[in-house]
Amino acid sequence: MQQDVEEKEFLLVKLWLPCHFLDLSFGLKSEKGGIIIMSDTTIINCPSCGVKNRVPIHKLSMGPRCGRCKTPLSVSANNASPVVLTDANFDSLVGSANVALVDCWAPWCGPCKMIGPVIEELAGEFGSRALIGKLNVDENPVVAQRYQIRSIPTLLFFKNGNLSDTMVGAAPAQQIRAKLLSML
């Protein structure tokens, strides 16, 4: 059962790759039959020794440390990217974040492409202070229906896992930033 969930998650991540929206790095390993499985990890450069650390996304909020020198790895400017949220990982990631912003989008949506760079910029800016994530509503209908996403882009703001505000449409970066700052 657990295996099924994980494989579904990997598939969704794989579908994401052609979008080039995210700067996440994915681990590759081949299984029987030559199937490529990709995992939800991101690379963080150690500020002390410079070694590249591969960190599972779900551990970003747990104070990750460098594997070589044990220096705390900060998820801060220039090395934080929006997290790919799915039906499978949404509750654990958003639920464990103090503040979370979720960009609900789809590849065919023009205004979503306009707001994409803003979301990436905010991810770098807020680093570990807030979880900045993207949810493909076509591929993740469970979460999309739960929050009744009828128009995209829709931005969902969560405080301690509870929905606290919604912005429909491509809101200006300054408005989104101000909302996030007010929630920290």
Tokens 């220039």 correspond to: 78
6-14, 33-41, 70-78, 120-128 -> range binding Zn ion (CB under 5 A): 70-78
Cβ proximity of 127 and 157 under 8 Å = no
The CA distances from residue 17 to 22, 55, 134, 161, in Å, are 8, 18, 13, 27
Identified catalytic residue from 46, 66, 104, 112: 112
Q: By CB under 5 A, is residue 46 in contact with Zn ion?
A: yes
Contact set for Zn ion, span 71-100 (CB under 5 A): 71
* In contact, 13 and 40? CB cutoff 8 Å: yes
Catalytic residue among 46, 66, 104, 109: 109
Name the phi and psi angles at 121, rounded to 5: -60, -40
Rg for the chain, CA atoms, rounded: 16
- For residue 93, which of 126, 53, 62 has the smallest C-alpha distance? 62
Of 26-34, 45-53, 92-100, 138-146, the window that binds Zn ion (rule: CB under 5 A) is: 45-53
**For Zn ion, the closer CB: 47 or 124:** 47
Q: Is 46 a catalytic residue?
A: no
Judge whether 69 counts as a catalytic residue.
no
Cβ neighbors of 177 (< 8 A, separation 6 or more) are 122, 125
Supply the minimum distance, in Å, between the C-beta of residue 95 and Zn ion.
Answer: 30
| Measured distance CA(30)–CA(11) in Å, rounded | 14
Q: Which of 7, 27, 35, 48 binds Zn ion (CB under 5 A)?
A: 48
Stretch that binds Zn ion, among 61-69, 90-98, 100-108, 172-180 (CB under 5 A): 61-69
Q: Which residues bind Zn ion (CB under 5 A)?
A: 46, 48-49, 66, 68-69, 71
Active site residues: 109, 112
